């Protein structure tokens, strides 16, 4: 049902005992009795992503998440309050938040108690009165996590309690397992996290730290991410960490390594080069896009990958081996431009994240004198599987090797076609034009065409991104 009249909203409201009242100045529709009444409708339970129809929600746009949470050392549980500031994009009778393995104890909108429903990883909130289109509103959710150390042993992704502390991490979705959220990269927001833990434990998250405060044996840590962030890029880690705080180019740099790892271990050595690698990438992609730098290393057998969590990438200790450590750091730092600052409009375009981050690894390896970009291309060209189109890999193959390798090869093919000067100008203009925003493959094709002086790059790029067969090797004579 697309349009719900206010009378229907009153029916829903009976569930929660709220009272509805007519608001002034709203659009009206003529009901069956001929009386003009405001038209309100429910926000969609998905944001419209073909790959993940239930991800995100319709009807509003979040500006800020203010999370005030507490970690319980007895069972590893999380609880707290999320204050979500958003603006309606329609006359809204009710709306959803993504909400998985969480339980709400109370929900208010602008201070008014709301009726709620929880099912299918969604929290449905029905305020006592509809909210007019374009109105800013504040939702406060008190909640607990239903995940505990005992029941999450086999769970991957999202909030994972550990023996001491825990952490939250995962792509394409993880945020919904630790706070109510519009869980899709097309709705980016700023964040503040206050996390209260037993004194002696450390808390690491995105962005810039504020001084922590301690009372009665509990310490509250505060982290602020002031640049809009996609929800899957939010993270928190609680545990015993060595935290190295410094500044880099005048911005805070926070590098956290588990106390269980020696200070000179390969993971610690790799992340110690964060500033140097970010500076190299800035020479290729333009200014580093965020207020803070850093790294977070995890030492937990459930995690064996890295993720480009905003301003502070997360690395499983096992992935930062002596032979490949800085290449992984270059990959995750490149995502700060490609994925984090310029975020996806929809998951289908994942190559815009992974192809660029892989290309950055090729650039870094060349810079380090390990392997030229052309050699990286040639290796990938000889061993890639060509059936899976990186421009539309399908939800189940979002992170398949061709998304990374053929995505990067696509960029090298474009470079061959338009020449180094135009290509490297594009690598800077693209993140500049979409800074803190969202983009899609079509936007990139248009940008590449502009970079090529108007020569249409659509056919070249669609062949590399979508053809089910190996495209011809680009000839270097075109450069
Ligand atoms: N985006 C990550 C990277 O390439 C990889 C990744 C895919 C991932 N799925 C994940 C990381 C789930 C953590 C969780 O750097
Ligand atoms: Zn990646």
With residue 342 as reference, give the H or E element that holds it.
strand 342-344
Distance 273 CA to ligand 2 centre (A): 18
CA 467 – CA 317 distance, rounded (Å): 37
The bound ligand whose nearest atom lies closest to the alpha carbon of 169 is: 1
Q: So what's the architecture of 1-26+36-238 in CATH? A: Sandwich (2.60)
Domains 240-336 and 342-466 share a fold: yes
Alpha carbon nearest to ligand 1 atom 11, residue? 307
Distance 266 CA to ligand 1 centre (A): 21
The model's pLDDT over 168-205, given as tens digits with 9 standing for 90+, comes to 999 999 999 999 999 999 999 999 999 999 999 999 99
Start-to-end C-alpha separation, the chain: 55
Question: For residue 170, which atom of ligand 1 is closest to its CA?
Answer: 14
The bound ligand whose nearest atom lies closest to the alpha carbon of 355 is: 2
Residue 450 main-chain phi, psi, to 5 deg: -65, -45
Question: For residue 171, which atom of ligand 1 is closest to its CA?
Answer: 12
Question: For residue 157, which atom of ligand 1 is closest to its CA?
Answer: 14
Tell me if residue 251 falls in helix, strand or coil: strand
Q: Is 340 in the pocket of ligand 1 (CB under 6 A)?
A: no
Q: Is 49 in the pocket of ligand 1 (CB under 6 A)?
A: no
Alpha carbon nearest to ligand 1 atom 10, residue? 171
CA 281 – CA 107 distance, rounded (Å): 44
The bound ligand whose nearest atom lies closest to the alpha carbon of 233 is: 1
Q: Which residues pair with 400 in a beta bridge?
A: none
The model's pLDDT over 4-17, given as tens digits with 9 standing for 90+, comes to 333 333 333 333 33
CA 236 – CA 232 distance, rounded (Å): 11
Q: Record the tokens describing residue 412, joined without a space.
A: 């090298």
Q: Is 101 in the pocket of ligand 1 (CB under 6 A)?
A: no
Report the CATH fold assignment for 342-466. Answer: Neutral Protease; domain 2 (1.10.390)
With residue 4 as reference, give the H or E element that holds it.
strand 4-5
From 306, 331, 349, 358, the mutation candidate for ligand 1 (largest count of ligand atoms within 8 A of CB) is 306
Distance 314 CA to ligand 1 centre (A): 10
Q: What is the reported pLDDT for 1? A: 32
> Residue 150 above 90 pLDDT?
no
Report whether 351 contacts 407 (CB < 8 A): yes
Share of the chain above pLDDT 90, in %: 88
Q: Which DSSP string do the residues of 393-443 spell out, in sequence order?
A: --GGGTT-HHHHHHHHHHHHHHHHHH-HHHHHHHHHHHHHHTTTEEE-HHH
- pTM for the model: 0.92
Alpha carbon nearest to ligand 1 atom 1, residue? 307
Mean of the pLDDT values across residues 254-272?
97
Superfamily of 240-336 according to CATH = Neutral Protease Domain 2 (1.10.390.10)
Q: What is the reported pLDDT for 23? A: 44
- In the chain, where are the structural domains located? 1-26+36-238, 240-336, 342-466
């Amino acid at each position: 049902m697309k349009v719900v009249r206010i009378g229907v909203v009153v029916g829903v409201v009976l569930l929660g005992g709220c009272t509805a009242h007519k608001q002034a100045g709203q659009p009206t529709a003529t009901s069956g009795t001929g009386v003009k009444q405001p038209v309100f409708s429910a926000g969609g339970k998905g944001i419209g992503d073909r790959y993940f129809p239930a991800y995100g929600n319709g009807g509003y746009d979040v500006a800020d998440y203010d999370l005030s949470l507490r970690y319980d050392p007895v069972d590893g549980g999380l609880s707290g309050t999320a204050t979500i500031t958003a603006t309606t994009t329609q006359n809204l009778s009710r709306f959803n938040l993504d909400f998985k393995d969480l339980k709400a104890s109370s929900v208010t909108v602008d201070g008014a108690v709301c009726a709620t429903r929880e099912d299918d990883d969604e929290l449905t909130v029905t305020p006592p009165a509809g909210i007019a289109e374009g109105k800013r509103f504040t939702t406060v959710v008190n909640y607990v996590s239903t995940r505990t150390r005992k029941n999450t042993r086999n769970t991957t992704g999202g909030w994972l309690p550990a023996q001491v502390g825990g952490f939250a991490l995962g792509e394409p979705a993880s945020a919904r397992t630790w706070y109510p959220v519009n869980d899709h990269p097309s709705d980016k927001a700023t964040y503040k996290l206050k996390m209260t833990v037993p004194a002696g434990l450390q808390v690491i998250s995105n962005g810039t730290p504020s001084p922590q405060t301690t009372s009665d044996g509990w310490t509250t840590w505060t982290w602020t991410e002031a640049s809009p962030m996609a929800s899957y890029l939010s993270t928190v880690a609680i545990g015993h960490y060595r935290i190295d705080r410094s500044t880099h180019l005048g911005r805070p740099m926070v590098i956290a390594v588990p106390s269980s790892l020696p200070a000179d271990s390969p993971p610690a050595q790799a992340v110690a080069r964060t500033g140097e690698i970010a500076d190299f990438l800035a020479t290729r992609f333009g200014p580093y896009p965020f207020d803070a730098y850093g790294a977070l290393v995890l030492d937990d057998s459930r995690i064996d990958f890295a993720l480009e969590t905003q301003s502070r990438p997360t690395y499983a200790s096992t992935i930062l081996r002596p032979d490949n450590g800085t290449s992984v750091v270059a990959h995750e730092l490149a995502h700060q431009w490609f994925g984090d600052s310029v975020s996806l409009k929809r998951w289908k375009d994942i190559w815009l994240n992974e192809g660029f981050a892989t290309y950055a690894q090729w650039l870094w390896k060349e810079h380090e004198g390990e392997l030229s970009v052309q050699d990286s291309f040639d290796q990938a060209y000889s061993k890639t599987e060509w059936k899976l189109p990186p421009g539309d890999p399908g939800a189940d193959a979002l992170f398949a090797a061709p998304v990374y390798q053929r995505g990067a090869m696509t960029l090298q093919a474009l470079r061959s076609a338009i020449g180094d000067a135009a290509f490297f100008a594009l690598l800077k203009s693209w993140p500049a034009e979409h800074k803190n925003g969202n983009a899609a493959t079509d936007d990139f094709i248009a940008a590449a065409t502009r970079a090529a002086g108007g020569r249409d790059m659509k056919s070249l790029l669609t062949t590399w991104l979508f053809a089910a067969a190996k495209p011809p090797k680009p000839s270097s004579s075109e450069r």
